[in-house]
């Protein structure tokens, strides 16, 4: 297949003539033997048309040719890509994709056709976002956020390639910024005696069992709120973490645990007793509300059985701890507290990693490196004792 160049002269209403050059490709004849051509143009000069012809012919011969279309990035993302992936990702992830594209990508590039996107065009977008992309204050977005936006663009264009709308993913050759190396964020946590003080202080609180479960298992906020009675095995003292409640555009939605991994956590006798006592109290709520009780089988919920909003749960923790003579920590830091105490107690890292739902023990070690120095001191003393006594 070679293709050929055609020249056409156009005359406007004022009688002024312009010359455009076109690349004409002969397509395979249809089932009835009719001849079909595909015109590409118009190019301003014959040289531009010749270069285009060479590229188009090469695409035909290598099987990468994509028939020209006028679909814009906004049309593709809004009407095709986002609806397509909605059931393939978590609701929180989908909402993040939708918001970032709407706020930071489509205002600048939405009207461009997919085939008009190039690496320089994307690089210019990234530079603009770094300089002045913040929506609520002066200045730009962080390099980490811009790189995340690049990831979203890359995913959307990859699906456009798979759909046959474009031949290549130009985002692959774009240059998103690299986040600057930062010092590890210092993790806040309570010492064992501080956690004991907290658990004693919340005794009798309606959510006492929820605070207890969070502290004694290291479960995430959404996992605690998404816990159902059918997920608790009282006979074997185990909790199955299968569901999490998350906030998407402030609406509470049931989702899978982070990383989509369900897990089983063994619980101690005290936590088991707390849950049994809580179940008895909840039965009182059921009786009081009667047919109006919203039964979702949730262990921790409002008096009428409806879900507790994750933000409300965090705010309740903040209000409680503000009245206590304890170091200020976030609700999520109960998870860090559990892991830190477990490490100091000599629990194997692999076991802690499994309880927390981390991808691997290496991540757990990196996350809680603040505990390692003390453990290493004990190891150093133990090695020295063995050598001295040999």
335-364 pLDDT, tens digit per residue, is 999 999 999 888 999 999 999 999 899 999
Residue 288 belongs to a domain: yes
Domain count within the chain = 3
Same domain? 127 vs 250: no
Whole-number pLDDT of residue 99: 95
The yes-or-no verdict on residue 182 having pLDDT over 60 is no
187 within a domain of the structure (yes/no): no
10 belongs to a structural domain: yes
Is residue 131 one of the residues assigned to a domain? Answer: yes
Residues 238, 162, single domain; the answer is no
Give the model's pLDDT for residue 285: 95
Same domain, 136 and 205: no
- Does residue 126 sit within a domain? yes
CATH number of the domain encompassing residue 324: 1.10.443.10
Residue at 388 is within a domain? no
Span 270-281, pLDDT tens digits? 999 999 999 999
Q: Is residue 374 scored above 70 in pLDDT?
A: no
Please tell me whether residues 54 and 96 are part of one structural domain.
Answer: no
User: Does the pLDDT of residue 186 top 80, yes or no?
Assistant: no
pLDDT value of position 373:
63
Q: What is the mean pLDDT of residues 282-303?
A: 96
Q: Work out the pLDDT band at 385, boundaries 50, 70, 90.
A: confident
pTM of the predicted structure, to 2 decimals: 0.72
Claim to verify: residue 152 and residue 51 sit in the same structural domain: no
Q: Are residues 153 and 232 in the same domain?
A: no
Lowest mean pLDDT among 20-34, 74-88, 152-166, 226-240: 20-34
Residue 375 binned pLDDT confidence (cut-offs 50, 70, 90): low
pLDDT of residue 116: 85
- Look at residues 109, 139, 173 and tell me which one is the last residue of a structural domain: 173
Q: What tokens does 120 get?
A: 């320089």
Under the banding of pLDDT at 50, 70 and 90, the label for residue 184 is low
β-pair partners for 26:
37
303 and 241 within one domain: yes
Considering the domain boundaries, does residue 265 fall inside one? yes
Q: What is the pLDDT of residues 93-121, one digit of tens each?
A: 999 999 999 999 999 999 999 988 999 99
How large is the average pLDDT for residues 143-169? Answer: 93
Q: Looking at the domain assignment, is residue 184 inside a domain?
A: no
Report the mean per-residue pLDDT for the chain: 90
- Same domain assignment for residues 57 and 95: no
- pLDDT per position as a tens digit, 25-62: 877 777 787 877 877 777 788 888 888 888 888 877 77
CATH of the domain at 80: 1.10.150.130
- The domain in which residue 50 lies consists of 4-62
pLDDT in tens, 301-343: 999 999 999 999 999 999 999 999 999 999 999 999 999 999 9
* 217 and 273 in a common domain: yes
Kindly state whether residues 234 and 365 are assigned to the same domain: yes
Higher pLDDT, 46 or 390: 46
* pLDDT of the residue at 371: 72
200 and 271, same domain (yes or no): yes
Domain's final residue, options 62, 89, 109: 62
144 and 268 both lie in a single domain: no
Q: How confident is the model at residue 366 (pLDDT cuts 50, 70, 90)?
A: confident
- Predicted local confidence at residue 333, as pLDDT: 96
Q: Which of 18, 37, 62 is the last residue of a domain?
A: 62
């Amino acid at each position: 297949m070679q293709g050929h160049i055609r020249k056409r002269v156009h005359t406007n209403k004022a009688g002024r003539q312009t010359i455009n050059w076109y690349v004409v490709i002969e397509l395979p004849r249809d089932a009835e033997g009719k001849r079909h051509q595909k015109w590409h143009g118009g190019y301003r000069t014959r040289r531009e048309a010749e270069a285009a012809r060479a590229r188009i012919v090469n695409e035909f011969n290598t099987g990468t040719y994509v028939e020209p279309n006028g679909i814009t990035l906004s049309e593709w993302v809004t009407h095709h890509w986002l609806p397509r992936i909605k059931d393939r990702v978590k609701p929180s992830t989908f909402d993040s994709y939708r918001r970032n594209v709407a706020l930071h990508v489509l205002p600048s590039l939405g009207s461009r056709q997919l085939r008009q996107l190039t690496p320089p065009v994307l690089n210019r977008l990234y530079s603009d976002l770094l300089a002045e992309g913040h929506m609520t204050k002066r200045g730009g977005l962080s390099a980490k956020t811009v790189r995340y936006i690049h990831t979203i663009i890359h995913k959307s264009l990859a699906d456009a390639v798979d759909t046959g709308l474009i031949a290549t993913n130009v985002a692959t050759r774009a240059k998103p910024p690299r986040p600057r190396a930062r010092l590890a964020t210092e993790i806040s946590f309570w010492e064992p005696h501080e956690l004991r003080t907290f658990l004693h202080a919340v005794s009798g609180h309606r959510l006492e069992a929820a605070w207890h479960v969070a502290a004694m298992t290291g479960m995430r906020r959404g996992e605690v709120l998404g816990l159902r009675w059918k997920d608790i095995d009282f006979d074997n003292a185990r909790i199955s973490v299968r569901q999490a409640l998350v906030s998407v555009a402030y609406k509470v939605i049931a989702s899978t645990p982070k990383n989509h991994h369900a897990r089983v956590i063994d619980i101690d006798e005290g936590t088991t007793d707390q849950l049994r006592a809580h179940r008895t109290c909840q039965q009182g709520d059921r009786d009081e509300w009667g047919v109006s009780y919203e039964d979702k089988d949730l262990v921790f919920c409002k008096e009428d059985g409806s879900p507790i909003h994750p933000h409300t749960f965090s705010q309740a923790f903040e209000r409680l701890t503000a009245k206590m003579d304890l170091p200020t920590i976030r609700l999520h830091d109960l998870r860090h507290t559990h892991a830190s105490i477990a490490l100091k107690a000599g629990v194997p890292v692999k076991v802690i990693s499994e309880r927390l739902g981390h991808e691997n023990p290496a991540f757990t070690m990196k996350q809680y490196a603040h505990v390692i120095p003390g453990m290493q001191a004990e190891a150093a003393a133990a090695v020295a004792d063995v050598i001295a006594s040999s």
